[in-house]
């Protein structure tokens, strides 16, 4: 019998047909179609099942994670189906929809400060590790280091994409939160499709794209896009796999997410806007036809109060003051 967990993966791939893609064909892997609505369902399942397999997670146990969102939703959903207690430590910039969604799926939420860095006891990862040490029968998932995270993408996401593209892909544009997607897909492509270039889409303020381009570790700024961009290089993130990188301002990410809905009818989240913006730049820069893939990492339904809320966009200065038109996101 099929359980809801068996519906993770096997997501559809669609072609972009109304947006301008230069000489290239651009395809979108709809990870938003996973049961809890994001790309993180795959690693959530893999990390829980790896812990079950090696005996660290026992019946009735507790799963703890530091997460800004989708990993927590995936863990809460897989945990609920398998009968585990799920505790999520989240930084306070996480969208309200995601907190309510995780609570609805039975997770306990601890909100912590987002203005402190690694090594501070209130930093979300340090707090989660400490809580695990104090909770009996608990495991700390730690997606940033857990090898089952990239492995899930190497085993499922990557072969699905290569099959759906009939084995012919020139470039895949990805974002990095934990690095699981990049490292898993990148490793698989090195082995089974070496001509495929991995391209990084990174929010302005993140240290990753500048590091890829210059080899220098700059200090991080801040950004409003959720789920991608980092102020450190996670152990699970193998940046040596990246051949090209784009820095995308929040304004362009939000505008592109809205454009994706308007032109293609696909409701994607803010990180999908970043990935698509980078993919479109990449496609338009090419002089030869290429086959390019990017991901719709999660659904825009999780960002109704942000990306799809004009009052928020105006308040944060993402809408041009002159006309108040959202179209100004791109042109101004
Ligand atoms: N997009 C969104 C919305 C996410 O939540 C995440 C995970 N943080 C990613 C992209 C990036 O995934 P990864 O952790 O595999 O780098």
The token duo for 216 is: 């220098």
317: CB partners within 8 A, 6+ apart: none
Q: Give the integer Cα–Cα distance in Å for 90 and 79.
A: 17
Q: Is the pLDDT of residue 68 over 80?
A: no
Query: Which residues have C-beta within 8 Å of that of residue 7, sequence separation ≥ 6?
Result: 34, 35
175 vs 67, more confident: 175
Query: Shortest CA distance to 158 belongs to which of 123, 132, 129, 182?
Result: 182
Query: Which DSSP letter does residue 304 get?
Result: T
How far apart CA 28 and CA 87 sit, in angstroms, is: 32
Pocket of ligand 1 (CB under 6 A): 38-40, 69-70, 175-181, 226-228, 269, 271, 297-298
- Token pair, residue 181, equals 């997607």
Per residue in 253-283, pLDDT tens? 999 999 999 999 999 999 999 999 999 999 9
* Nearest Cα residue to atom 4 of ligand 1: 227
- Ligand 1 atom nearest the C-alpha of 181 is 15
Dihedral pair phi/psi, residue 270, rounded to 5°: -65, -40
Give the DSSP H or E segment for 100.
Answer: helix 96-104
**Cα-to-centroid distance, 6 and ligand 1 (Å):** 21
Confidence of residue 321 (pLDDT cuts 50, 70, 90): low
pLDDT of residue 331: 43
Q: What average pLDDT does the segment 210-227 reach?
A: 93
Q: What is the predicted pLDDT for the residue at 326?
A: 55
Tell the residue nearest (CA) to atom 2 of ligand 1: 227
Angstrom distances, CA of residue 33 to CA of 44, 55, 268, 300: 15, 31, 10, 12
Rounded to whole angstroms, the Cα distance separating 189 from 173 reads 13
ipTM, interface predicted TM-score of the complex: 0.98
CB 139 within 8 A of CB 105: no
Please state whether beta strands 197-203 and 242-248 pair in parallel, antiparallel, or not at all (unpaired): parallel
Question: Which residue has the least CA distance to atom 3 on ligand 1?
Answer: 227
Percent of the chain at pLDDT above 70? 95
From the list 29, 40, 197, 302, the catalytic residue is: 40
101: closest CA among 74, 67, 123, 125? 74
Query: How far does residue 38's CA lie from ligand 1's centre (Å)?
Result: 8
Confidence of residue 118 (pLDDT cuts 50, 70, 90): confident
The CA 298 to ligand 1 mean position distance, Å, reads 9
DSSP H or E run through 275: helix 270-285
Can you tell me the distance from the alpha carbon of 141 to that of 48, in angstroms, rounded to the nearest whole number? 8
State residue 230's pLDDT score. Answer: 93
What is the DSSP track for 130-187?
HHHHHSTTEEE--TTT-THHHHHIIIIIHHHHHHHTTT--SEEEE--SSSHHHHHHHH
- 317 DSSP 8-state letter: T
Question: Ligand 1 center to residue 322 CA distance, Å?
Answer: 34
Reduced to 3 states (helix: H, G, I; strand: E, B; else coil), residue 68 is coil
- Do 184 and 150 form a contact (C-beta atoms < 8 A)? yes
pLDDT at 82: 96
Calculate the dihedral angle through the C-alpha atoms of 257, 107, 148, 230, rounding to the nearest 10 degrees.
50
Which pLDDT belongs to residue 46?
A: 98
CA distance 275 to 178: 15
Report the greatest alpha carbon distance in the chain: 60
**Phi and psi torsions of 189, nearest 5°:** -65, -40
**Which of 32, 71, 297 to mutate for ligand 1's pocket (most ligand atoms within 8 Å of CB)?**
297
Taken as a whole, the chain contains a residue count of 332
Q: Say if residue 198 is exposed, middle or buried (CB neighbours under 10 Å; 0-12, 13-18, 19+).
A: buried
Ligand 1 midpoint to CA 232 (Å): 15
- Of 62, 51, 122, 39, which is closest to residue 302 (Cα–Cα)? 39
Give the Å distance between the CA of 185 and the centre of ligand 1.
Answer: 13
Pocket test for ligand 1, best of 95, 142, 178, 275 (most atoms within 8 A of CB): 178
Catalytic residue list contains 58: no
């Amino acid at each position: 019998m099929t359980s809801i967990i068996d519906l993770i993966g096997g997501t559809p791939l669609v072609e972009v047909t109304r947006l301008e893609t230069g000489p290239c064909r651009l395809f979108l892997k709809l990870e938003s179609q996973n049961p809890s609505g994001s790309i993180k369902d795959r690693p959530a399942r893999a990390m829980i099942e790896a812990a079950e397999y090696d005996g660290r997670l026992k019946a009735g146990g507790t799963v703890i994670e530091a997460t800004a969102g989708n990993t927590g939703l995936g863990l809460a959903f897989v945990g609920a189906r398998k009968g585990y207690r799920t505790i999520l430590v989240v930084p306070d910039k996480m969208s309200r929809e995601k907190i309510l969604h995780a609570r609805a799926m039975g997770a306990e939420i601890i909100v912590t400060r987002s203005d402190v860095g690694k090594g501070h006891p209130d930093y979300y990862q340090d707090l989660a590790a400490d809580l695990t040490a104090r909770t009996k029968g608990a495991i700390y998932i730690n997606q940033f280091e857990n090898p089952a995270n990239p492995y899930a993408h190497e085993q499922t996401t990557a072969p699905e994409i290569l099959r759906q593209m009939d084995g012919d892909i020139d470039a895949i544009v990805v974002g990095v939160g934990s690095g699981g997607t990049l490292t898993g897909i990148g490793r698989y492509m090195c082995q089974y499709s070496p001509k495929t270039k991995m391209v990084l889409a990174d929010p302005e303020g993140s240290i990753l794209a500048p590091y890829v381009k210059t080899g220098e570790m700059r200090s991080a700024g801040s950004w409003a896009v959720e789920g991608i961009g980092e102020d450190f290089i996670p152990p699970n993130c193998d940046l040596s796999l990246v051949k090209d990188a784009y820095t995308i301002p929040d304004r362009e990410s939000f505008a592109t997410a809205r454009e994706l809905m308007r032109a293609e009818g696909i409701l994607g989240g803010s990180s999908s806007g970043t990935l698509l913006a980078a993919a479109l730049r990449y496609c338009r820069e090419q002089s030869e036809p290429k086959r390019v893939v990017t991901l719709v990492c999660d659904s825009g339904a999780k960002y109704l109060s942000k990306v799809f809320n004009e009052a928020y966009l105006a308040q944060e200065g993402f809408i041009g003051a002159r006309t108040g038109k959202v179209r100004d996101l791109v042109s101004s």
